[in-house]
Chain A
Amino acid sequence: DSGVTQTPKHLITATGQRVTLRCSPRSGDLSVYWYQQSLDQGLQFLIQYYNGEERAKGNILERFSAQQFPDLHSELNLSSLELGDSALYFCASSVALTGASSGNTIYFGEGSWLTVV
């Protein structure tokens, strides 16, 4: 158990719908990352938050948004869903900004399987 909790574990929804994925980082971790893993795109970095602020953005679509709340949990909102959004969505957390300190290991949650039908 990495200590990173993601809900829901599985989700099936229809095209055009909106879903919210939730992540609780490990106790004490300030940095939260979101990744998408699909068969054709591999593991793609979406976005990173640190202590409530957005710090880095990757290949995140405009239909997707995220935020980190004062209690450090994070949510990833996916809207106007398309078939191609079906993927495994990971949340990860670390103590500090990546690379800002030595030993900044990143731990992944078990992922949320999203199927868009």
Chain B
Amino acid sequence: GIQVEQSPPDLILQEGANSTLRCNFSDSVNNLQWFHQNPWGQLINLFYIPSGTKQNGRLSATTVATERYSLLYISSSQTTDSGVYFCATFNTNAGKSTFGDGTTLTVKP
């Protein structure tokens, strides 16, 4: 199956700092999404981004499908950004999905 690797595994930032999270995937996908799991366990969809670049407020994401990676940018981080960020890929036809192990982000005030 598809392998999904996220880096870094852990990230500690001071409030206001910027960060880049990376997701590498081992095979072609036509559905890639980024999620944020908050400290209460809720999984919130951030971006559906199989290719290209999208922005939503302080967050943006870029996927280069031909090179099999995606990046999530967080600018001017806030303590509420803390949690685990997952990227997930979905096989073209089979529907099986694979989540990375996540990046645990801690933003300190």
Binding site for B on A (CB under 8 A): 2, 31, 33, 35, 42-45, 48, 50, 55-58, 88, 90, 92, 97-99, 102-108, 110-111, 113
Contact = CB atoms under 8 A, between A and B. Distances in A.
A43 B43 CA distance: 11
Contacts of A105: 33, 45, 48
Contacts of A113: 41
A106 B90 CA distance: 10
13 contacts: A2-B44, A31-B95, A42-B101, A48-B95, A56-B95, A97-B95, A98-B97, A99-B90, A104-B31, A105-B33, A106-B33, A110-B41, A111-B41
A97 B93 CA distance: 8
A54 to B, nearest CB: 10
Given A88-B41, A105-B45, A108-B43, A99 B29 contact: yes
Interface of B: 29-31, 33, 35, 41-45, 48, 50, 86, 88, 90-99, 101-102
A57 B99 CA distance: 15
B63 to A, nearest CB: 13
B45 A106 contact: yes
A48 B94 CA distance: 10
Contact of A42 (B31, B33, B94, B99): B99
Contacts, number: 70
A99 B41 contact: no
B95 A98 contact: yes
Nearest to A110: B42
Nearest to A1: B42
Nearest to B30: A99
A108 B35 contact: yes
A56 B92 CA distance: 12
